[in-house]
Amino acid sequence: MAKVRMRNRISAILLSSDKPLTCQAIHERYPGRNLPNTRAITGVLQSYPEFLEVGSVTVPRKSGPGHMPASLWTHIDHALLSSMEEE
């Protein structure tokens, strides 16, 4: 049940954005108290076909100097989202 709720919340975040988002950007916009880590968000994005990887960007590393690549994600299927989650 929690994975379905996480999928719906990630879908709502991506559908409300005008541009593709990285996992870190989704993590920052995630609502509620039970905030998943970026690894869990990445797992959900890779598990469901309605999420589409559309490119990559370079972002600064958190744990040291330098940069690392980050994937950009978008949502392609509006029909799977309930009206309550979309609001």
Tell me: pLDDT of 76 over 50.
yes
Which of 22-36, 41-55, 68-82 is the least confident region? 68-82
Structure tokens at 10: 């990630």
pTM of the model: 0.76
Dihedral-angle region of residue 22 (phi above 0 means left; psi in -120 to 50 means alpha; beta otherwise):
beta
Centre a 10 Å sphere on the Cβ of residue 50 and count the other Cβ atoms it contains: 17
CATH architecture of the region 2-79: Orthogonal Bundle (1.10)
Q: Is the dihedral of CA 41, 42, 47, 49 positive or negative?
A: positive
Structure tokens at 16: 């409300």
Distance from C-alpha of 42 to C-alpha of 16, rounded to nearest angstrom: 19
Q: What is the pLDDT of residues 6-32, one digit of tens each?
A: 899 999 999 888 888 999 899 999 988
Tell me: pLDDT of 66 over 90.
no
